[in-house]
Structure 1
C-alpha cells in the first residue's frame, strides 16, 4: 500500500505498481507523473464515481483495479487506454457497460457483483479475452457476438438471470473453466441439492475453531475440533466469505460438495455448518493429513489462466501418473452425477508423496440440468480441456520419464482439440491412462 503523501512528494517516481486506498473521492492528478513507468494501478476501496478523460496518458498501464468504488457505468475512457489488458470493477454498483468501454487488447475483465443487465456487442471485438468474471449480476442473456471471443478460457456467469446457456458457448475452442450455477435454468436441481445439504447439519456450538489452514476465493479453512457427547474429532471447517464469491453462491458450492459422493480422490465432506451467530455459511470436512500439499499456486496477473508452479517442481513418474489417474477418475464421477467442477486446476489439487491425490474447491461447481444429454456431453468436453492443461503441466514437471511424458502429452493434445466434439470422454481418458506405465 502506498500513501498519497508519498505520491505528492515525488517519492514514488519510477514506480511500476501503485496502490492507493484512502477513501479518495477524486482521481489524484499526481498519478500522471508516473506515466513513463506505471503498469499496475490499484485504486480499489476509494469513492471515485468517474475517471479522468485523459487516462490514456498512462500509456504503459496494463492493469487497473477500481473495485468497491461507486461507479454507475464502466468508464468509457477505458476503451481508449492503449495498453490496458486487465480491468477489475467488482462490487461497484455498475449498471451499464458502454460499447466504447472495452479496450481491444483486453485479456481479463472482472465485473463480479454489480447490477449489469446487458453486455455490449463490442465485447465480440475483444478477441484476446481469456478471463471473464460476471458472477452476481442481472444478465438474462449473453450477446451472440461473444462467439468471436475464441480465446476465452475462463467464464464465470453464476448467480445471474440466464434462462439457458447460449448454444454457441460450448463451441468456443479454448473454454475450459465454466461456472453457471444460481441461474433460473438450473434453479430446480440447485434447490434439490441444497435441501440435501441441509440434512447434514453440524452445530456451530459443537465446533471449536483453531488455526487457519488456507483460503481461496470463496472462503477460509480452519482446523477445528468437533465435540459430540463425550467424543471429540478433529475436522476442517470452511467458512464462506460473503453472499457472492468470484465464482458464484456459497449455497451452490455446499450442494455440489455434498452431491459429489464418496471417492478416494475427493476431499471427504461431512456436512453443512448450522447456527453460526452471524449467519455465515460453512462446510465441515475431514481433516487432511499435513503431508498433502498443493500441486501449484493460482494464476498470476501475467499468466492469467495458467497456474504457477514453485520453481524446481519435479514429479516422479508414479506421482505424475497417479495425479492424472486420480483426478480423471474423480472428475468422471462428478460428471456421472451431473456436476461440472468448473475450476479443475492444479492449485485445487492436493497430492501426497505416496501418490494419493485429492481434488477440492467446489466454488465454481454447477449442476447439469437433467434431461439434456447433449448439454451434459458438451459441458464434459469443456472440462476435458481443463484436464488437458493439467496433463501438459504434469508432463512438463516429470523430466525423468520421457516415455510417460510423451504419453501424457499425446493424451493432452486429444483433450485440447480445438473442436470440442473431437475430445474424448473422461471414461476414455481413464482407459488411456490405465495403459500408460510409470
Structure 2
C-alpha cells in the first residue's frame, strides 16, 4: 500500500505498481509523473466517481483496479488506453457501459456486484477477451455479439436476472469455466435440488470453534470440535458471508455442496449448521488428511485464465494418470447429478504424493437438468475443455522418470480431444474416466478406483 505523501514527494518515482486507498474523491494528478513506468494502478477502496479524460497519458498502464468506489458509469476514457488489458470495477454503482469504454487490448473485465442491466453489442469487438466477470448485476439477456469473443474462456453471469442460458454459449470454442447460478431460469432446479437432498442439521451449540483455517470469497473456514452423545470429533466449519462473490451467491455454493452427494474424490458435507446466533449459514465438513496439498495456485495477472504452479512441481506418469482419473471421476459424478462445477481448476484440487486427488470449491457451481438435450451435453462438453486444460498442465510437468512413450501418447490424445475447438467433438467425462482408468491400470498394474481418503485439515485458496 502506498500513500499520497509518498506520491507527492516523488518517493514513488519509477514505480511500476501503485496502490492507493485513502478516501480519494479525485484522481491524483501526480500519477501522471509516472507515465513512463506505471503499469499497474490500484485505486480500490476510495470514493471516486470519475477518471480524468486524459488517462491515456499513462501509456504503459496495463492493469487498472477501481473496485469499491462510487462510479455510476464505466469511464469511456478506458477505451483510449492503448495497453490496458485488465479492468476491475467490482462493487460500484455502475448502470451504464458506454460503447467506447472497452480498451482494444482488453483480456480481463471485472464488473461484479454493480447495477448493469444491459451489455452493449460493442463488447463483441473485444477479440482478446479471455475473462468476463458479471455476477451480481441486473442483466436480463446477453448480446449475441458476445459470441464473437472467440478467445473467451471464463464467464461469470451468476446472480443476475437472466431468463435463459443462450444456446450459442455452448458453441464458443474456448469457453471452459462458466457460472450462472442464482438466475430466474435456474431457480426451479436449485430449489428442487435443495428439497431432494437431506443433510442433517448440526446445532451450533454442539460446535466449539477453535481458530480460522482460511478465508475465501464466500466465507471463512474454521477448525472446530463437534460434541455429540459424549463423542468428540475434529471438523471444519465453513460460515458463509452474505455478499455476492465473483462467482455468485454463497447460498448457491452451499446448495451445490449439499447436492453433490458422496464420492471418494469430493469433500463430504457432514451437516448444515442450525440455530446460529446471527442466523448465519454454514456447513460442517471433515478435516482432510495432512498429506494433501493444493495442486497449484490460482491465475495471476500475467496468466489470466491459467493456474500458476510452483516451479519445482513435477509428476511421474502414474501420478498424472491418477490425478486425472480421480478428477474425471468426481466431475463425471457431478454431471450425472446435474451439477456443472464451473471452476474445474488445479487450484481447487488437493493431491498427495501418490496422485490421489480431491476436487473442492463449489463457489461457481450451477445446476442443469441432465435429461435436457442438447443443453446438458453442451454444458458437459464445455467443462471437458477445463479438464483438458488441467491435462495439458499436468503433461507439461511430466518428469519423464516413469511411463512409456505409448502412455504419454495416450494421455496427449485425451488432452487433444478435450481441447478441441469444436465443442461437440469433445468426449464426455464417462468415456474419459474409463480411458484414464485403463491408463492408471497400465501404470500401476492395479485396477483403478477413486481413492478413499483419510481426514485432516483442508484450506481452500481464495
Shift of 1:353: 1.9
Of 335-344 and 93-102, the range deviating more from structure 2: 93-102
8 A Cα contact 2:336 2:370, kept in partner: no
Aligned residues: 438
Could you say which residue in structure 1 is the equivalent of 2:331?
Answer: 331
Shift of 1:133: 0.5
Of 188-197 and 11-20, the range deviating more from structure 2: 188-197
CA distance, structure 2, for counterparts of residue 79 and residue 9 of structure 1: 31
CA distance, structure 2, for counterparts of residue 253 and residue 73 of structure 1: 30
Deviations 1:341-397 (A, max 9, x none): 000000000012233211000000000046512111000000000000001111111
Could you say which residue in structure 1 is the equivalent of 2:116?
Answer: 116
Structure 1, unpaired ranges of 5+? none
Could you say which residue in structure 2 is the equivalent of 1:296?
Answer: 296
Shift of 1:226: 1.1
Structure 2, unpaired ranges of 5+? 444-462
CA distance, structure 1, for counterparts of residue 369 and residue 120 of structure 2: 28
1:107 equivalent in alignment to 2:107 = yes
8 A Cα contact 2:335 2:370, kept in partner: no
Q: Identify which of 390, 400, 418 aligns with 2:421.
A: 418
Shift of 1:202: 2.0
Of 49-58 and 363-372, the range deviating more from structure 2: 363-372
**CA 1:319–1:69 in structure 2 vs 1: closer, same or farther (change >3 Å)?**
same
Shift of 1:317: 2.2
Could you say which residue in structure 2 is the equivalent of 1:395?
Answer: 395
Determine helix, strand or coil for the equivalent of 1:394: helix
Of 220-229 and 292-301, the range deviating more from structure 2: 220-229
Could you say which residue in structure 1 is the equivalent of 2:456?
Answer: none
Of 314-323 and 86-95, the range deviating more from structure 2: 314-323
Of 416-425 and 210-219, the range deviating more from structure 2: 210-219
CA distance, structure 2, for counterparts of residue 361 and residue 372 of structure 1: 26
Determine helix, strand or coil for the equivalent of 2:270: strand
8 A Cα contact 1:18 1:42, kept in partner: yes
Deviations 1:281-305 (A, max 9, x none): 2221111011110000000011000
Structure 1 length normalisation: TM-score? Answer: 0.97
CA distance, structure 2, for counterparts of residue 184 and residue 203 of structure 1: 32
Could you say which residue in structure 2 is the equivalent of 1:8?
Answer: 8
Deviations 1:93-121 (A, max 9, x none): 11111111111210000000111000011
Could you say which residue in structure 2 is the equivalent of 1:203?
Answer: 203
1:79 equivalent in alignment to 2:90 = no
8 A Cα contact 2:199 2:258, kept in partner: no
Could you say which residue in structure 1 is the equivalent of 2:236?
Answer: 236
Q: CA RMSD in A?
A: 1.4
Determine helix, strand or coil for the equivalent of 2:384: helix
1:354 equivalent in alignment to 2:360 = no
**CA 1:409–1:217 in structure 2 vs 1: closer, same or farther (change >3 Å)?**
farther
Determine helix, strand or coil for the equivalent of 1:209: strand
Could you say which residue in structure 2 is the equivalent of 1:170?
Answer: 170
CA distance, structure 2, for counterparts of residue 13 and residue 50 of structure 1: 24
- Between the two structures, name the one with larger relative contact order (CA 8 Å, sep ≥ 6): 2
Structure 2 length normalisation: TM-score? Answer: 0.92
Determine helix, strand or coil for the equivalent of 1:372: coil
8 A Cα contact 1:197 1:272, kept in partner: no
CA distance, structure 2, for counterparts of residue 341 and residue 89 of structure 1: 26
Q: How do 1:36-435 residues align onto structure 2 when only pairs under 5 Å count?
A: 36-195=36-195, 199-369=199-369, 371-400=371-400, 401=403, 403=405, 404-435=407-438
CA distance, structure 1, for counterparts of residue 322 and residue 213 of structure 2: 25
Deviations 1:166-210 (A, max 9, x none): 121110000000000111111011122234567532222322222
CA distance, structure 2, for counterparts of residue 305 and residue 392 of structure 1: 14
Of 425-434 and 412-421, the range deviating more from structure 2: 425-434
8 A Cα contact 1:20 1:44, kept in partner: yes
8 A Cα contact 2:224 2:234, kept in partner: yes
CA distance, structure 2, for counterparts of residue 369 and residue 99 of structure 1: 36
